[in-house]
Structure 1
């Protein structure tokens, strides 16, 4: 019979396990429930994939990340292992066929989202499968105190009741002690063995640097470290803009975000992985399942929403064990901007009720009806019609989606996509000949600098508002530009699809979920406060702050983060100052003001040096309040 190491060598070509992979695998093979807390890049997938290959039956993997599911399925298939994923957009009859394949086709892995378990018929079909192991990835999503709570995860406990003899494994890369206990409770894990790998990365230096000119600072560090780097930004526009700025400075840079086509994502990813491009500029859509060992630098040019996501993204640097840097660039107004982006857009109970009510009116859902009905949905038109702030309205819809009230299609894009097919000088010429169009065109170009490179999704209502015109005028301009072969553009009547998972009950629905909204908002505020404390700290080791946030007790500083380096520099400075003061006092007794003047010190520097010398009995105080050597 094969042993775990045999499987690892055969399919993954590794000659040994990382700690504590082998112990986790052994616990699973003994039929025990396990909780696995490993930092990003720790090798969590091997912990359920290897034991699944050693047992009869199929491993059920529950994950909220479609991209990661597809990536893992493709990797398993390349190894000759039969795996399948039930991702979004698959029709019911196709799902049924795929589940038949799992039952009769000798598959080893079935990946699906937790939302799939909300369909009773899917659960009934899973009960018919020879399930040998259930792996719950991103398990922190089960906790309302986690940074990414998804109520659908609460249904997994029902599956546990149907499969009482099957071992369950909960895996996450970020969970505080409170979240850990929540996961164990809500998944009904039976006396699980808890495996924790330290979050400490001895080779990763965390730096927070004040920089009003972030592009200049990025140029400095990328010039110094010419190895692969990742730059994280908050949105698609910043993705294109930052990549273009770096390219203009001579860097090989590409980009990655959720709005790219599959082909574009794969192309840009390959260019970076093969190091034909040095820098990957990306939103948080990039990174899951990416294990490039020689990334030397991860740079955040905007504040993260929480320390959990920051730790995961920063942790993609230095996986080869060599010195690497996680650099966060901070400008004067960044904290206020981030607070506006993350907290001020959170919907309260009253706004949530308004959005839900408007949504039912917009789609003409009668009271007590609507369950399982799907509709094409134009988010822009919805917001424009009811004069709703888009960011806040989208946050409300996301909350309704996470609570399982509605399902909003993951393929969210804007209504219109545009690409300029002529050089910039031709656009300037057009504006000079058509001054009536200049205002709208300038808004479009300022808002979407990427339109010269690729087809870019635009917010027509937003452009109209900024240009002080209406949507119809903008659409007419686009039609004129396309007729003159200045642009190509595509427009669809709807940018999303929306399904109601429950009957319309208005007040009853909102009352039932309002407490979760309050918990979510409070939790997000606490998490963002932790980010602010991290970036404004100038006294405590940054690595220790991160470790303590994840409830890991540490007693020593890392000695390589920005705070530790600054302390070391200051310690060196005061040692030199103390030496100068001692040499000066050997010549004659002096008071503190005379020491300041002769050495050009600040009062604080002089006092600190004098205290150190007094404490070490190198000098003494004379009767006329001067200092002299002992």
Structure 2
């Protein structure tokens, strides 16, 4: 079987050998053992179940909580001519039946679904009839209440052992503390599993904590020194646009990515970064799924992350090609308070969760005892305005309801444009003759949609823009104008989300059932933020060591590459003394404090303190240009 596994690896992925931990995991699964794999981001987790599944007869059942991840993996398998299918949310029952028929009779190798699907009895009955050869649980930390994104539906995966007692289970995760690892094995009911852990150590990655009040200036310094591809993680969508705009002004080639962008713009921005037309990506944490760019030199965090798990994953997108790379977190004294406001103050309690759920049901006129499988377009902002709810806290409440399987929340942005001409065709032609600058757009619409005088018609504004050789924004602006002068009826609706009700409405009973999970989740998130604050503020230990200890690894040696290690090395080498370095610089010319900080690879605070001491000792003075100059 090992030879066949290697053939499949080469045939479908083009690799001639497995990575060390991959090979051990694949061998364990091929031998029929329950297997647990802890592999950091970028370690190639999916191959650990995909290769055995291709080697076995039958179909691999893959349980994953993330729709985007399922779609990404299914697409990649299909591109390799491997038959795979995903039962994502929002699929109607008739379509589900057809998809499951395809699995049973269509020689499919992979069936992806969310854990919530297993709670549908008829779906479970159909799965029992499939020739299942392997069951893979991805993002397995979701089974633990101490892990990120706990989902109660994961607890029911254990029941599959009853129906498939001879089928091997493989549980995989990229981030799990020792407590979470213990939970995964116990709560999934893994039978004497083979446990494999890949070290979280990244030999080529230096973790740096930099203190700076002017973060934009610090980012410019870093990017000038390291012009290779980079990712800059920011707090929100507004910061995305702000940093992108400011860095462009300074001559950097920048693009941006966040969850609110239309799909086409996301893809265009991603492609421009991948091709290095714009090698700097400014992004929220929405950027990450399926990224495979090995030569990222620098990952910069402008704000404190919510957990060391998410920080490790995002920082780990640097240096995947094995080259020297940097993970830099820039912080200022105000950041701890901001992080508490951002992550803790917006955590919903049980009372608020109940209010949001009840108002959501009322908003869509869901009667008590009804609503299951009903789907609606949803604008978070309009909902919050109507009930005067804080937006972030409400979004967190909805996300929690989504993870508990009470609702399905889809954040795909779409814009629906409908128009119908109100005047006869000859009057429209007369209007065009009076406004020749608008002729290309109107003519393109008339040619593409001949029935547009009779019926309200959905139109593809991107297609019209292409035909008229103008921007899509120009098309939308003209349509709005023509609607205002009543040349046509114009209807535009942007849907930020879709809401699907997955249970009947029961108000108190619904929320009380999940209340304990919400309280545990809030406790975990507070502890996670405390760990981040400790990591940032600790100036006595190697940063790589601190991260590894968090994930349960103990190492004797410091990494020698992080901000702590580099600073320690400097203090042990008197010939590299900071004061002497400053004096050498000022022998050449007078400099401002900012110019001195930019030139030296020392911590900004330390440079400023040394300059202050040199002033007090009359070694330097400040001239009329606010520059430091050596005392004669």
TM-score category of the 2 structures, normalised to the smaller one: 0.7 to 0.9
Q: In structure 1, what is the Cα distance between the partners aligned to 2:7 and 2:495? A: 52
Match of 2:264 in 1: 263
Counterpart mapping for 1:440-479 below 5 A: none
Counterpart mapping for 1:335-350 below 5 A: 335-350=336-351
Instruction: Please give the per-residue CA displacement for 1:302-326, whole angstroms capped at 9, x wherever unaligned.
Output: 1111000000010011111111000
Q: Which stretch has the larger CA shift, 371-380 or 393-402?
A: 371-380
Counterpart mapping for 1:130-209 below 5 A: 130-209=131-210
Match of 1:408 in 2: 409
Instruction: Please give the per-residue CA displacement for 1:452-495, whole angstroms capped at 9, x wherever unaligned.
Output: x997xxxxxxxxxxxxxxxxxxxxxx9789959xxxx9743864
- Structure 1 contact 53–108 (Cα < 8 Å) conserved: yes
- Structure 1 contact 378–415 (Cα < 8 Å) conserved: no
Match of 2:212 in 1: 211
Deviation at 1:413, TM superposition (A): 7.8
Instruction: Please give the per-residue CA displacement for 1:572-626, whole angstroms capped at 9, x wherever unaligned.
Output: 239979x9xxxxxxxxxxxxxxxxxxxx998xxxxxxxxxxxxxxxxxxxxxxxx
Deviation at 1:372, TM superposition (A): 3.7
Are the structure 2 counterparts of residues 196 and 50 from structure 1 closer, same or farther at C-alpha, using a change threshold of 3 Å?
Answer: same
Match of 1:621 in 2: none
Are the structure 2 counterparts of residues 413 and 174 from structure 1 closer, same or farther at C-alpha, using a change threshold of 3 Å?
Answer: farther
- Structure 1 contact 34–193 (Cα < 8 Å) conserved: yes
Match of 1:383 in 2: 384
SS in structure 2 opposite 1:44? coil
- Paired residue total: 526
Match of 1:278 in 2: 279
Match of 2:110 in 1: 109
Q: In structure 1, what is the Cα distance between the partners aligned to 2:294 and 2:510? A: 47
Q: In structure 1, what is the Cα distance between the partners aligned to 2:502 and 2:128? A: 23
Match of 2:622 in 1: none
Instruction: Please give the per-residue CA displacement for 1:330-372, whole angstroms capped at 9, x wherever unaligned.
Output: 1232221111111001111222222233333333444444344
Instruction: Please give the per-residue CA displacement for 1:190-248, whole angstroms capped at 9, x wherever unaligned.
Output: 11111001000111000111122222111111111121111112222222222222222
Match of 1:551 in 2: 552
- Structure 1 contact 208–327 (Cα < 8 Å) conserved: yes
Counterpart mapping for 1:581-600 below 5 A: none
Are the structure 2 counterparts of residues 140 and 571 from structure 1 closer, same or farther at C-alpha, using a change threshold of 3 Å?
Answer: same
- Structure 1 contact 335–532 (Cα < 8 Å) conserved: yes
Deviation at 1:61, TM superposition (A): 1.6
Match of 1:224 in 2: 225
Match of 1:356 in 2: 357
Instruction: Please give the per-residue CA displacement for 1:492-525, whole angstroms capped at 9, x wherever unaligned.
Output: 3864433333333333333322211111111100
Match of 1:567 in 2: 568
Q: In structure 2, what is the Cα distance between the partners aligned to 1:362 and 1:68? A: 31
Match of 2:123 in 1: 122
Q: Which stretch has the larger CA shift, 197-206 or 499-508?
A: 499-508
SS in structure 2 opposite 1:240? helix
Q: In structure 2, what is the Cα distance between the partners aligned to 1:151 and 1:506? A: 19
Q: Which stretch has the larger CA shift, 97-106 or 232-241?
A: 232-241
Deviation at 1:563, TM superposition (A): 0.9
Q: In structure 2, what is the Cα distance between the partners aligned to 1:558 and 1:216? A: 28
- Structure 1 contact 380–415 (Cα < 8 Å) conserved: no
Deviation at 1:292, TM superposition (A): 1.5
Q: TM-score scaled by structure 1?
A: 0.77
Q: In structure 1, what is the Cα distance between the partners aligned to 2:384 and 2:242? A: 27
Q: In structure 2, what is the Cα distance between the partners aligned to 1:522 and 1:281? A: 31
Instruction: Please give the per-residue CA displacement for 1:542-570, whole angstroms capped at 9, x wherever unaligned.
Output: 10110000011111111110111111111
Deviation at 1:133, TM superposition (A): 1.0
Are the structure 2 counterparts of residues 264 and 387 from structure 1 closer, same or farther at C-alpha, using a change threshold of 3 Å?
Answer: closer
SS in structure 2 opposite 1:191? coil
SS in structure 1 opposite 2:166? coil
Q: In structure 2, what is the Cα distance between the partners aligned to 1:305 and 1:184? A: 26
- Structure 1 contact 28–51 (Cα < 8 Å) conserved: yes
Are the structure 2 counterparts of residues 380 and 570 from structure 1 closer, same or farther at C-alpha, using a change threshold of 3 Å?
Answer: same
Instruction: Please give the per-residue CA displacement for 1:7-46, whole angstroms capped at 9, x wherever unaligned.
Output: 2222211122111111111110111111100111111111
Match of 2:73 in 1: 72
- Structure 2 contact 138–171 (Cα < 8 Å) conserved: yes
5+ long unaligned stretches in structure 1: 417-452, 456-477, 580-599, 603-630
Match of 1:625 in 2: none
SS in structure 2 opposite 1:3? helix
- Structure 1 contact 255–280 (Cα < 8 Å) conserved: yes
SS in structure 2 opposite 1:221? helix
Structure 2 residue 542 is matched with structure 1 residue 517: no
Instruction: Please give the per-residue CA displacement for 1:258-303, whole angstroms capped at 9, x wherever unaligned.
Output: 2233332222222222222211222222222222211110111111
Match of 1:614 in 2: none
Q: Which stretch has the larger CA shift, 348-357 or 561-570?
A: 348-357
Deviation at 1:5, TM superposition (A): 1.9
- Structure 2 contact 384–390 (Cα < 8 Å) conserved: yes
SS in structure 1 opposite 2:46? helix
Q: TM-score scaled by structure 2?
A: 0.77
- What is the RMSD computed on CA atoms of the aligned residues? 3.1
